[in-house]
Chain A
Amino acid sequence: MNEDPVALLPELLLLAGAVLGLLAGAWLPRHRQWWVRILAAVAAAGGLVATGVAATRPDEVVFGTSYAVDPVTSATRAIVLVAVLIALALSVDASAGTARETEFVVLLQLAGLGTIMLGGANDLLLLFAAFLLASVPLYALAGWDKQPLGVEAAMKYYLSGAFLGVTMLTGTAILYGVARATGYGPLRHGLTVAPGAAVAVGVVAVLAGLLFKAGAVPAQFWVPDVTDGTPAPVAAIVTTIPKIGGLVATYRLLLVAIPAAVVDWPLLIAILAAASMTLGNFAAFFQTSVQRLLAYSTISQVGYLLMAVAVAGRAPLAQPALLFYLAAYAVTNFGVFAVVAELPRARTLTDYRGLARCHPGLAAALAICLFGLIGTPPTAVFIGKLTIFTAVVDGGLGWLAVLAVINTVASVFYYLRWIAPAFRRSEPHTGPQPAPQALQRAGTWSAISSYVCAAASLILGAGAGMVLPLFGGSPNS
C-alpha cells in the first residue's frame, strides 16, 4: 500500500493554494485581494511542474487502489491546471476588486481540484467524493454575482446536481452490492459474474452523475441556463473545466471497471454521443444570445468527445483522441468566452456587428476560435476531430462518424451567424446605429487571454505530433 503524499503533489498544491488563499483573503483589504490570485497562479504553475516531474515516473496506484497516477491522470492534471491558469487570467476584468474576488479564485481552485480527482479516481467511492468536490464549488460560483439570473441558474444547477448526485450514489451502492467491491480492478472482477440487469442499472445511475458533470444529454438541462445567466468568466469555467473531469472519469470507469460483455456500454455511449451532438447543434441554430448559443455548442462538443469514449479500448487512438480533443476544446472554448468576457455588454449576436472595425484583434481571435470549434484545419480541434473520427471508424462505429460529419456541417451555420456580423461593416443607412457601448471593452486581461487562447489553438494544432504521444499510455487498473 502506497500512501506517499508526494504522488499527489499537484493536487496538494492546488488544495494548499485554495486554503491559504481563503485564509489570506479573509485578512487582506479588498484592493489587495489580487495576492490571492497570484498565489493561485503560483500554485497552478507549481502543480504543472509537479505534473511534468510525476509524468516521468512509472505509473502507480496510490492510497490503496483508490487513485491512479498514470498517463491519463497526468494529462488530466495538465489540462485542468492550464485551464485554471487561463480562467484566472480571463476573470481578472470581471472579478478583480470586487468584494468576493477571493471567493471566486478559491472556488475555481477547488472545482479544478475536484475535476482532477475525477480524472484520477480509481474507486467508486472516491469518484463520488470527487464528484461532490467538483460540483459544490461550482454551484456557489454560479451564484457568485448575486444577480437574479445567476441565483436562478445556481438553483437550477444545484437541484439537478443534487438529484443526479443521489442517483450516482445509488448506482454506486448497486454496483457495490452486486460486485462486492468499489475499487475498479476488483469491481471488474466481480461484475463479470453479476446479474446483467443490476449491473446495467448501476452503470447507468453512476453515469448520470458523470454526464451531469460533462453536460451531456440527458443531463444537459442546466447548461443553457447556467451559461446564459452567469457572467462570461463563470460560464467559461462551468462549461469547460468540469467537462474534462466528467469525460475522463467516464472513460476510465467504463474502460477499466465495466466489462463490455456484461453491459453493452459502447452502444449506450454512442447513442448518448449522437443525441448530445444532434440536440446541441439543432438547439443552437436560432439562438440570439451568444452565451446561450455557446451553451448549446458545448453540449454538441460533448457529443464529439463521447464518441471517443464509445470506442474506448477498441481503437488505439481513442485515448489520445479524447485527451487531445479535451485540451483543444478547453483552449478554444476559453478563447471564445474570453472575447465574450471582454465585451460584457454585447449579449446578442447582432451586438457583434462591426467588431472587426472597432477591435480587429478581438475579431480575429473570435474567428480563429469559432472556426476552431467548427473543426477547421489547422486549429487544434481539427486534429482532435480527425483523431476521434479515425478512432471511431477504427472501432467499428462508422455510422456515428457519418452523423458527426453531418452535425459538424450543421454547426457551421450557427457559428457563421456569429462570425459574419462581426466582420460586417455597420451600415448607418440601413438600420439604427449599433450602440457603441455594446462593444465597449472590459479591460486588457480578457483580451490577452483571447489572443493567447487563439494562438494556443493554432500552435496546439501544428504541434499535435509532439503532444499526441504524451496522451498515449494506457491507464492503470
Chain B
Amino acid sequence: MLSVIVFLPALLAVVLLAVPATAPRRVFTGAWIGVSALDVVLVGVVWAGLAPGGGFSWQQQVPWIPSAGVSYHVGVDGLSLPLLALTAVLFGACAVFAWRETRRVKAYVTVFLALQTVCLGLFVALDLILFFLFFDLSIVAMYVLIAGWGHGEKARAAALKFFLYTFLGSLALLLGFVLLALVATPHTFDIPTLIAANPLAGGGLYAGLALLAIGIGLAVKTPTVPFHTWLPPAHTEAPATGSAILAGVLLKMGTYGFVRIAMPILPATWREYALVFVIVGVVSVIYGALVALAQTDLKRMIAYTSINHMGYVLLGVGAAGLLAGSDGQARQLAATGAVTQMVSHGLITGALFLLTGVLRDRGGTYDMGAYSGLASRTPRFAGVFAVAAFASLGLPGFSGFIAEFQVLTGALPAAPVPTAIAVLGILVTAALFLVALQKLFLGDLRMPDAPGAPRPLRDLRASEAVAVVPLLALATVIGVLPRVLLDVVEPSSRVLVDLVSR
C-alpha cells in the first residue's frame, strides 16, 4: 500500500514521458492533480488503518542487498504518517497551483512527480540506505527544479550552492549510517532492527562520531545555524511551487531524521549531547527571527522565518533528550510539539511561499518596498495572506500555536533559560509579519512600474485560491481541533521518549 502511494507519481511520470510535449499543457497538470488527489485519498486510508499503540503499521520488507544488510523496508507510525500526509497534501496544492504554468510544462510536471515519489518515499523508509537514497534524490530533483525553472542566471548559482551544500550534508549522513550499520551484528541498515538492538547503548567516542556525522547531515538539511547559508538564495531563486516544497517538505527531512534515526538509535549519545541541540535550536530561533526582521525581500524574509520555525523543532527534540529536571510527560510534550511544528510549518509556510509566487506573478518582484496598499485592490489576496501570516506568527487558533506551545511547555522544566530566550523569537516573528502586512497591504496603492501598458492588478485566481486555502484550512483545523493530529502523534512520541530514556 505504501509502495503504491510512493511510486504512483513516478509511474505517472513514466507514462507522461511517452506523451509528446506538444500535447495541451493541461493534460500534464491535470494528470498530476489527479494522481496527487489519489495519493491524498490513499494516505487517508493508511491513516484510518494505523494500528494504535505507536508501533509501525503497513510494513513491507523485501531484501535488496542482503550481503550488506540493506533491504527495501517501508512502514509508517505516528511520527511519519502526519508528514506523509503533509507531503501528499502539499504536492496536491502545488499541482493545483501549477495549473497556470506555461514554461516547459511536460518537463516541469515530470520533475515534480519524481520529486513527489522521492519525498513520499523518504517518510516511509525504514532502512537507512533507502532513507539516504530518497534523501539524496530529493537534492537532485530540487536542483533541477531551481536551475531549470528559477529566476534566471542567479538561480543556477543558487541551485549549485544548494546542491553542493546539501550533498555534503547527505554524504556526512551516509558516513554516519555506515558507522551505525557496522556496530550491529550482523551488519544491518534496518532501522527497527537497529532500534531494538541499541548497539551503542554505552555511548562513547564512536557513538559520538556517528551522532556528529548524522547531526551535521541533518542540520544542513533542516537547516540550523550555522549550516543555513544555502537556504535564502535557494528560496529566493526557486519558483513558487519549488519553494513551497523545499520549505514544506525537504526541510522536514532533516528534522524527521532526528526523530526517526538519531534519537532512537543513539539514545545514550543523544541524551549526552541533547543540550547542544537545544542551544543550536534556540540560536536558530533567535537568529532566524532577527535576520528575517531585517529583510526587504518578502521571500527571503519567509525563508529566514523557516530557520526560526525549524529552531523550535530542534528545541523540542533536544528537550526530549534532557532527562534531568523533567519528567516523561514533559519530554513527550516536547517531542509531540516538535512533530506538530513540522506539520504546521509545512502547511503554513507552503501557503506563504505560494502566495509570494502570486505576488511576483502580479508585480514581477519580491521587494516589499515596491508594493503598498494592495488590500484595496486585491482584498482576497490580502485576506488570505493575512491569515497565513497570523498563522505563521503563532496566533492561537492555528496549528503554529499548538506546536510552539507544546514545545515550549515541554522544554521549560528541563531547559528554562533557553526556553525563555526562545519565547522572544515569537515576539520578533510577530513584529516582522505585522510590518510586512503593513508595508504590502496598507497605505496608498503602489505597484512596481510595469514596462509598457499598466497591467490590471488581478486578485487571487480560482486555481491559486484552491491551492492555498485548503492548506490554511488544515492549519486552522489542527489549531482548533488538535486531537485529530495529536491522537496519532502522541502514542508514537511516547514510544520515542521511552526509547531515548532507556
Contact = CB atoms under 8 A, between A and B. Distances in A.
Contacts of A317: 67-68
A469 B64 CA distance: 12
B167 A409 contact: yes
Contact of A416 (B65, B160, B181): B160
A387 B129 CA distance: 11
Given A387-B68, A416-B163, A405 B137 contact: no
A408 B171 contact: yes
B240 to A, nearest CB: 21
Interface in A354-397: 371, 376-378, 382-383, 386-387, 389-390, 393-394
A468 B163 contact: no
Interface stretch (B33-41, B172-180, B389-397): B172-180
B67 A465 contact: yes
Contacts of A320: 67
A408 B136 CA distance: 13
A386 B163 contact: no
Nearest to A469: B67
B132 A377 contact: yes
A401 interface: yes
A308 B443 CA distance: 67
Contacts of A423: 144, 147-148
Contact of A393 (B140, B148, B182): B182
Interface in B57-78: 63-68, 70
Given A386-B129, A387-B68, A472-B67, A377 B136 contact: yes
B423 interface: no
A317 B163 CA distance: 30
B78 to A, nearest CB: 28
A409 B167 CA distance: 6
Contacts of A413: 160, 164
Contacts of B172: 405
A386 B171 contact: no
B163 A412 contact: yes
Give the dominant DSSP class at B's interface: helix
Q: How large is the interface on A (under 10, 10 to 19, 20 to 34, 35 or more residues)?
A: 20 to 34
Given A393-B182, A412-B164, A416-B160, A405 B68 contact: no
Contact of B68 (A377, A402, A468): A468
B424 to A, nearest CB: 36
A409 B137 contact: no
Given A376-B137, A409-B167, A389 B175 contact: yes
Contacts of B164: 409, 412-413
B137 A377 contact: yes
A390 to B, nearest CB: 5
Interface string B425-460: 000000000000000000000000000000000000
A472 B178 CA distance: 20
Contacts of B187: 390
A352 to B, nearest CB: 15
B278 to A, nearest CB: 27
Greatest chain B CB density within 10 A among A387, A405, A423, A469 is at: A405
B156 interface: yes
A398 B133 CA distance: 22
Contacts of A382: 133
Contacts of B137: 376-378
A476 to B, nearest CB: 21
B184 interface: no
B381 to A, nearest CB: 32
Contacts of B160: 413, 416, 420
A390 B183 CA distance: 11
B443 to A, nearest CB: 38
B465 interface: no
Contacts of B178: 386, 389-390, 393, 401
A398 to B, nearest CB: 8
Contact of A412 (B70, B144, B167): B167
Nearest to A406: B168
A120 B69 CA distance: 30
A360 B113 CA distance: 19
A465 B69 CA distance: 9
A363 to B, nearest CB: 11
Interface in A428-477: 464-465, 468-469, 472
B156 A420 contact: yes
Greatest chain B CB density within 10 A among A382, A386, A469 is at: A386
Interface in A263-317: 317
Contacts of A409: 164, 167-168, 171
Greatest chain B CB density within 10 A among A320, A371, A390 is at: A390
Nearest to A417: B160
Nearest to B209: A398
B174 A389 contact: yes
Contacts of B179: 393
Contacts of B65: 383, 464-465, 468
Contacts of A378: 133, 137
Contacts of A465: 63-67, 70
B67 A468 contact: yes
A387 to B, nearest CB: 6
B67 A390 contact: no
A378 B129 CA distance: 10
Nearest to A468: B67
A317 B67 CA distance: 9
Contacts of B182: 390, 393-394
B239 to A, nearest CB: 16
Contacts of A386: 68, 129, 174, 178
A398 B140 CA distance: 27
Contacts of A390: 68, 178, 181-182, 187
Contacts of A394: 182
Nearest to A402: B175
A233 B294 CA distance: 57
A136 B71 CA distance: 45
Contacts of B70: 465
Interface in B143-164: 143-144, 147-148, 156, 160, 163-164
Contacts of A406: 168
B150 to A, nearest CB: 12
A162 B148 CA distance: 49
A405 B64 contact: no
A377 B64 CA distance: 14
Contacts of A387: 68
Interface string B161-204: 00110011001101100110110000100000000000000000
20 contacts: A320-B67, A377-B132, A382-B133, A386-B129, A389-B178, A390-B68, A390-B178, A390-B187, A393-B175, A405-B171, A405-B175, A406-B168, A412-B164, A413-B160, A420-B156, A420-B160, A464-B68, A468-B67, A468-B68, A472-B67
6 A-B pairs with the lowest CB-CB distances in the bound complex, closest first: A377-B133, A465-B65, A405-B171, A409-B168, A468-B67, A464-B65
Given A377-B132, A390-B182, A406-B168, 19 more contacts: A317-B67, A320-B67, A371-B140, A377-B129, A386-B178, A389-B174, A390-B68, A401-B175, A401-B178, A402-B175, A405-B172, A408-B167, A412-B164, A420-B156, A423-B147, A464-B65, A465-B67, A468-B65, A469-B67
Interface of B: 63-68, 70, 129, 132-133, 136-137, 140, 143-144, 147-148, 156, 160, 163-164, 167-168, 171-172, 174-175, 178-179, 181-182, 187, 209
